[in-house]
Amino acid sequence: MYIIAGLGNPGKKYENTKHNMGFLTVDILAEKLGIRVSRIRHRALTGEGMCGGEKVLLVKPQTYMNLSGESVREILSFYREEPHHLIVIYDDIDIPIGTLRIRKKGSAGTHNGMRSVIYQIGSEDFPRIRIGIGKERKGDLADYVISGFSKEDRETVEEAILRAADAAVCIVEKGIEAAMGEYNSKAKTVKKAEEEKR
């Protein structure tokens, strides 16, 4: 089974903010796969279903971002799954808006939610999908990540979330290498390629 965890903050106040890219991607995934993410277990909203013949559990930790790892650790432990069957989706301030970065493993960078996951499960060895929300920020970092998107950025972000959901499906169905090859590209590059196809 694959556990796909999108990181974010619960509550209406944070619904469409930059720090909720993980939650928004899980919502799209749930829609694509016909899964209801509504059951509260292990301090998270969860939903089970199938993806390409594999069982998947979609997860939205309800602990607030900085404690996300506590919920993820409980879920991994309950289902007795190894970290390499965990896929974490989250926002990244260090890459440009709309860019996807998929990696097999690695550090948390500047992301507190990811730092919590790595600390709690005691491993960096799991796939992750990072969705760019930087780099043109001004002012305080904490204020920036819990703010919404400008009108001009919204379309780019919505496209990135759709691609992130597709990338998660690709990891489950074809493996991390295939997903990295197909989805590790800048938003503008993807848009240009799509325009050339028309």
Active site residues: 19
Round to the nearest angstrom and report the end-to-end CA distance of the chain: 38
Residue 104 CA neighbour count, 13 Å, CB half: 5
Question: How many C-beta atoms lie closer than 10 Å to residue 190's C-beta?
Answer: 18
- Residue 164 · residue 7 · CB < 8 Å: no
Sign of the C-alpha dihedral computed for residues 98, 122, 168 and 32 taken in this order: negative
Strand spans (E) along 37-193: 39-41, 44-51, 54-61, 86-96, 100-103, 128-134
Distance CA 72, CA 116 (A): 9
User: In angstroms, what CA-CA distances link 60 with 14, 30, 113, 156, 182?
Assistant: 13, 11, 12, 23, 25
State the DSSP code for 186.
-
